Amino acid sequence: MRTHFLWLFALICCLGLYAQERQPTGSVVCVECHVDIGTFSRKGAHRNAMFLGEAGRGCEACHGNGSAHVESGEAADILGGDVLVEWPDEQKSKACLSCHQENIHGWLSSPHESDLSCWNCHGEMLHFHEPDEQKQAKCAECHKDVAMRIKLQYRHPISCEDCHDPHQENERGVDSTDRCLRCHSEYQGPFVYEHAALDDGCQVCHEPHGSHTPRLLKMTGNGLCLQCHTQSIFPSIGKKVHSTQLSGGAFCYDCHTDVHGSNTDPSLIRRLK
Ligand code: HEC
Ligand code: HEC
Ligand code: HEC
Ligand code: HEC
Ligand code: HEC
Ligand code: HEC
Ligand code: HEC
Ligand code: HEC
Ligand code: HEC
Ligand code: HEC
């Protein structure tokens, strides 16, 4: 007899829940109470889309449909931040990709896609804060080795995004030379006498993030060139015996000044006319 009452009770509860199944309300309603989140200074298309767009795609894309909570004002009737931060990365990104192109800038095959979500770097977009000016510091939080290099004595006066698109497909595969030439176009060539070393990318000689050596060189001295120009009959290099040239402690590029290519000299030497 008692169990019957329990069953009836449970049934009524279910029906009750069903009747108040959560419906989307749209975001404008939310900020009537959550004024702090409403008084953002951020403007723009992203914000407008979040607020004025389809109900269910703004605040509710993450916090879930809000009708029950709007009525009760109870925390239990909405998905709180503590639940959301535990979401798997893919689900977090989905909340953004419901509007943004799914493969934004090649995101789906980026090395970041498998370990990160959009929220790692765009946390400020969640609640429309000011854009995070510290993106570079954020990159450095995870990439500690690189973060160390950009503090060395010789460093590049530019930021990560100048060379990397963090959404980009196959970061390592993107030809680094093209990236460098966007700013250093004087080395674009073609030169009458190319230096085949450049075929392997600027980073065979330069450390893009920072270096102990001036000109962002990977290492001091002739070791840089001897990465490739070693032969058993050294100090003959190619057809040229270099014993005299190297005896005084000269660097290869003291003489071969046009290491990036020359229009006048096959040995990459800038000669006085
Ligand atoms: C009628 C006022 C009101 C409206 C409208 C309202 N909220 Fe709330 N909300 C509250 C109050 C009050 C609390 C604090 C409840 C508590 O701490 O017990 C709260 C808490 C929350 C929390 C925290 C929950 C937690 O677990 O701590 C979230 C998230 C939230 N609201 C999101 C929303 C969203 C999204 C909307 C729009 C769909 C919305 N609110 C609309 C009054 C409102
Ligand atoms: C892209 C997902 C996302 C969207 C969209 C979003 N939030 Fe949140 N919200 C979060 C996360 C994650 C947290 C917890 C971390 C934090 O505070 O940043 C949070 C925290 C909150 C809190 C603080 C209480 C708590 O649970 O910690 C409130 C209130 C809230 N959100 C309301 C809103 C309102 C109102 C909107 C729409 C204007 C909105 N959120 C849009 C993800 C989102
Ligand atoms: C309701 C749809 C919608 C959702 C959900 C959404 N966005 Fe947007 N977002 C837009 C629109 C529309 C623009 C402006 C057009 C554009 O740049 O594609 C925009 C622009 C942006 C911009 C560049 C413009 C700016 O203001 O800096 C960033 C960054 C951005 N969104 C990140 C995110 C992230 C991260 C998420 C998830 C937390 C997200 N968006 C979720 C619609 C949305
Ligand atoms: C590893 C960090 C990182 C991750 C992860 C990341 N972004 Fe970005 N995103 C950036 C940086 C850096 C910029 C460029 C600087 C800026 O605009 O603030 C940017 C710019 C953008 C822009 C505006 C520029 C444009 O050309 O469209 C949008 C939109 C955007 N991101 C959306 C997303 C979405 C959606 C995701 C998740 C699928 C995501 N981002 C994941 C770091 C990241
Ligand atoms: C939350 C941690 C995190 C943040 C923040 C982050 N990354 Fe990453 N990044 C990773 C992980 C994890 C990988 C993939 C694993 C790996 O290869 O090291 C990765 C891979 C990369 C790669 C490719 C490395 C390779 O070996 O091919 C580049 C380049 C990169 N990130 C640049 C950036 C830039 C630029 C930013 C800032 C806009 C950034 N990352 C922010 C964690 C992060
Ligand atoms: C001048 C362009 C440039 C800038 C600026 C730059 N990078 Fe790189 N980055 C490169 C190149 C080129 C490579 C490939 C190096 C290689 O293959 O040896 C690379 C490689 C990486 C890698 C792969 C691992 C490694 O050490 O080789 C990570 C991670 C990375 N960069 C993160 C960052 C972060 C974070 C910043 C900002 C603090 C940044 N980069 C700034 C050009 C740049
Ligand atoms: C966004 C523009 C930009 C990109 C991309 C860029 N650089 Fe630079 N680079 C600069 C600026 C600015 C300087 C400083 C120029 C100065 O001091 O006269 C510089 C300086 C240098 C220097 C000389 C440093 C010194 O101590 O004199 C080297 C070497 C260099 N870059 C190599 C590279 C390589 C290699 C890449 C690609 C991995 C690259 N750069 C990509 C802007 C860029
Ligand atoms: C074979 C090694 C090597 C390669 C490959 C190489 N560089 Fe250099 N680069 C050097 C050397 C050596 C110097 C310094 C010359 C000096 O100090 O007299 C230098 C200097 C520079 C400077 C500083 C010039 C100045 O006058 O301050 C820039 C910028 C530069 N390289 C950019 C690049 C770019 C961009 C690439 C790829 C297109 C590249 N380098 C490829 C060896 C190389
Ligand atoms: C990544 C390998 C590599 C590095 C590093 C390198 N080179 Fe080369 N270099 C080559 C190759 C390959 C050739 C073409 C050799 C040939 O045609 O026999 C070449 C050709 C030359 C030539 C012209 C030779 C001729 O054919 O007349 C000179 C001069 C030269 N390098 C000097 C240097 C100097 C100076 C450095 C250091 C700043 C350097 N190289 C670093 C690979 C490299
Ligand atoms: C004191 C000046 C000087 C120094 C230092 C020097 N070279 Fe040379 N190098 C020359 C001259 C001169 C030639 C011959 C040019 C010619 O005859 O047109 C030459 C020729 C070459 C050639 C072309 C050989 C051939 O077969 O035609 C290469 C490659 C070369 N040097 C590489 C290097 C490397 C690598 C270093 C550093 C280990 C170096 N040089 C140091 C002056 C120098």
Q: How confident is the model over 77-87, as a mean pLDDT?
A: 95
| CA 80 to ligand 1: nearest atom | 26
Residues in Cβ contact with 26 at an 8 Å cutoff, skipping those fewer than 6 apart: 55, 56, 58, 60
Q: How far apart are CA 108 and CA 170, in angstroms?
A: 10
Position 3 pLDDT exceeds 60 = no
Q: Distance from the CA of 37 to the center of ligand 2, in angstroms?
A: 9
What are the residue boundaries of the structural domains of the chain, listed by start?
Answer: 2-86, 186-255
Q: pLDDT value at position 187?
A: 92
Ligand with smallest separation from the Cα of 201 = 8
Please state, in angstroms and rounded to a whole number, the distance separating the CA atoms of residues 32 and 141. 36
Q: Residue 173: what pLDDT?
A: 46
CA of 215 to the centre of ligand 8 (A): 7
First to last CA, the chain: 113
**Does 164 sit in the ligand 6 pocket, CB within 6 Å?**
yes
Name the percent of the chain lying above pLDDT 90.
46
Question: Is 215 a pocket residue for ligand 8 (Cβ < 6 Å)?
Answer: yes
The first and second tokens of residue 43, run together, are 């403007």
Q: Residues 68, 100, 114, CA angle at the centre, nearest 5°?
A: 95
Which of the pair, 163 or 6, is modelled with greater confidence?
163
Give the pLDDT score at 129.
63
Mean pLDDT of the chain: 84
18 falls in which pLDDT band (50, 70, 90)? very low
Q: Please tell me the predicted confidence (pLDDT) of residue 171.
A: 53
Per-residue pLDDT reduced to its tens digit, 157-196: 888 888 888 888 555 545 678 889 989 999 988 999 999 9
Looking at 6-10, 65-69, 265-269, which range is the least confident one? 6-10
Q: Ligand 8 pocket test: pick from 211, 219, 259, 268 the residue with the most ligand atoms within 8 Å of its Cβ.
A: 259
> In this structure, which residue's CA is closest to atom 29 in ligand 1?
80
Pick the residue whose CA is nearest to atom 14 on ligand 2: 81
Please state the pTM of the whole predicted model.
Answer: 0.85
Mutate to test the pocket of ligand 3, among 27, 54, 99, 132 (most ligand atoms within 8 A of CB): 99
pLDDT in tens, 94-149: 999 988 998 898 898 888 998 899 998 887 777 766 666 666 778 888 999 999 99
CB of residue 267 inside a 6 A radius of ligand 10: yes
Quick: pLDDT tens for 230-261.
877 888 888 899 988 888 889 999 999 999 99
**Would the CA dihedral through 160, 162, 168, 169 be positive or negative?**
negative
Task: For residue 175, give both structure tokens.
Answer: 């030809």
What's residue 15's pLDDT?
A: 47
**Number of the ligand closest to the Cα of 245:** 10
> Residue 49: is its pLDDT beyond 90?
no
The mean per-residue pLDDT over the stretch 45-68 comes to 87
Ligand 9 centroid to Cα of residue 196, in Å, is 6
Helix, coil or strand: residue 165: coil
Atom of ligand 2 at shortest range from CA of 128: 38
pLDDT at residue 84 is higher than 80: yes
State which of 191, 206, 225 you would mutate to test the pocket of ligand 9, scoring each by most atoms of that ligand within 8 A of its C-beta: 225
List the structure tokens of 76: 């239990």
Question: So what's the pLDDT on residue 202?
Answer: 93
* Contact yes or no for 63/84 (Cβ under 8 A): yes
* Residues with a CB atom less than 6 Å from ligand 4: 93, 96-97, 100, 104, 107, 112, 116, 118, 120-122, 131, 135, 161, 166-167
